[in-house]
């Protein structure tokens, strides 16, 4: 696969999914990164959440990202034998397909169903899912080489979020989960480049977010966000999340309700 240009302690509880504020409290991300992800997902961005090991928090992170989307977006949960019966009458701009995992193992989404889902991106639909891959490049490589997606189709993926999982210090220490990188696949004349918007620092404790100019260039090119809107939108959303945290509204239901109210006021 050819790329050109610049390279830029919790488990999934299906009965009680975590909120962005709860995973922020574990150190998985900070509120500034959460605000950047909110700005991206508010545009109904198609996103992959990737990590190498199982139980890395991929599904939890994907659900957190989906909570940032506008309430009018209709979520369609894909099945391994999906016949896409939702398509007649569906509105691409408000329809978002979700895959528990893109994989050729078991009853996950692969083959014709996965190909169809990604091809629908070219018609304006959105898709989000998880994938076993260590890096953003590996995630794209798997979809290109093993699923058979073309580079022009891969270019319709808006963002890739990778996770890093490490063991805590001491025999009884909890596993440490961190967002490792956030990148945007950018179409180029001879392939794709990856614009890295955020990356975990070498010490594994902090997230470096790209400078304002880099964010403007990447987000304007990929998601058509006006350059002068990015910084104020991030600041407003970070402030809103911090207020929810200060008020003790940490559960997923409380955070989702807060996000809906935020959109109603805008």
Do residues 48 and 139 make contact, with C-beta atoms less than 8 angstroms apart? yes
> How high is the pLDDT of residue 175?
79
Q: How far apart are the first and last CA of the chain?
A: 42
Q: What is the pLDDT of residue 18?
A: 95
Look at residue 204 in the predicted model and tell me its pLDDT.
85
Other C-beta atoms lying within 10 Å of the C-beta of residue 207: 20
The two structure tokens encoding residue 214:
């880099």
Mean residue pLDDT of the chain comes to: 91
- H-only helix segments in the chain: 20-25, 31-42, 58-67, 111-119, 136-142, 151-154, 212-223, 227-246, 252-264
Predicted pLDDT at 174: 67
Paired strand residues for 95? 74
Whole-model pTM over 0.85: yes
Give CA separation, 196 vs 6, 30, 84, 135, in Å: 9, 17, 33, 12
pLDDT confidence tier of residue 137, bands split at 50, 70 and 90: very high
Of 108-122, 139-153, 158-172, the poorest mean pLDDT is in: 158-172
For residue 106, what pLDDT is reported? 84
Per-residue pLDDT at 1 exceeds 70: no
Does position 156 have pLDDT exceeding 90, yes or no? yes
User: Residue 224: its pLDDT value, please?
Assistant: 93
Task: Encode pLDDT of 4-43 as tens digits.
Answer: 232 333 333 445 789 999 999 999 999 999 999 999 999 9
Mean pLDDT of the region 170-196? 85
**What are the two backbone dihedrals, phi and then psi, of residue 14, each rounded to the nearest 5 degrees?**
-65, -25
Query: For the segment 73-119, what is each residue's pLDDT rounded down to a tens digit?
Result: 999 999 999 999 999 999 999 999 999 999 998 889 999 999 999 99
pLDDT at residue 107, rounded to an integer = 86
Map out the domains of the chain with their CATH numbers. 3-264 (3.40.50.300)
Number of Cβ within a 10 Å radius of residue 197: 24
pLDDT digits (tens, 9 = 90+) for 221-255: 999 999 999 999 999 999 999 999 999 999 999 99
Backbone φ, ψ for residue 42 (5° rounding): -60, -25
Q: Are 207 and 201 in contact (CB under 8 A)?
A: yes
* b/e 122-133 (16+ beta carbons within 10 angstroms → b): eeebbbbbbbbb
Pair 32, 80: CB distance under 8 Å? no
d(CA 250, CA 70): 19
Q: How would residue 171 be classed by pLDDT, with cut points 50, 70 and 90?
A: very low
111 phi-psi bin (left φ>0, alpha ψ -120 to 50, beta other): left
- pLDDT for res 168: 56
Residue 178 phi, psi dihedral angles, 5° rounding: -135, 145
Q: Say if residue 3's pLDDT is above 70.
A: no
Residue 183 burial class via C-beta count within 10 angstroms: exposed 0-12, middle 13-18, buried 19 and up: buried
**So what's the pLDDT on residue 15?**
57
């Amino acid at each position: 696969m050819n790329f050109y240009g610049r390279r830029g302690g919790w488990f999934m509880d299906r009965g009680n999914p975590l909120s962005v504020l709860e995973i922020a409290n574990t150190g998985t991300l900070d509120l500034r990164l959460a605000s950047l992800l909110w700005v991206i997902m508010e545009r109904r961005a198609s996103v992959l959440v990737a990590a190498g090991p199982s139980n890395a928090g991929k599904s939890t992170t994907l659900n957190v990202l989906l909570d940032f989307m506008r309430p009018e977006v209709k979520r369609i949960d894909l099945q391994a034998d999906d016949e896409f019966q939702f398509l007649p009458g569906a509105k691409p701009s408000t329809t978002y397909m979700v895959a528990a995992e893109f994989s050729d193992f078991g009853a996950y989404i692969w083959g014709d169903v996965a190909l169809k889902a990604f091809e629908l991106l070219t018609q304006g639909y959105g898709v989000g899912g998880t994938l076993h891959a260590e890096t953003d490049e590996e995630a794209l490589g798997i979809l290109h080489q093993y699923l058979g997606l073309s580079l022009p189709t891969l270019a319709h993926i808006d963002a890739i979020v990778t996770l890093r999982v490490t063991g805590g210090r001491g025999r009884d220490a909890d596993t440490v989960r961190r967002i490792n990188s956030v990148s945007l696949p950018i179409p180029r004349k001879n392939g794709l480049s990856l614009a890295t918007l955020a990356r975990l620092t070498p010490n594994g404790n902090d997230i470096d977010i790209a400078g304002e100019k880099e964010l403007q260039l990447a987000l304007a090119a990929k998601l058509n966000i006006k350059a002068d809107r990015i910084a104020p939108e991030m600041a407003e959303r970070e402030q809103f999340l911090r207020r929810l945290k200060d008020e003790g509204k940490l559960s997923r239901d409380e955070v989702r309700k807060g996000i809906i109210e935020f959109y109603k006021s805008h």
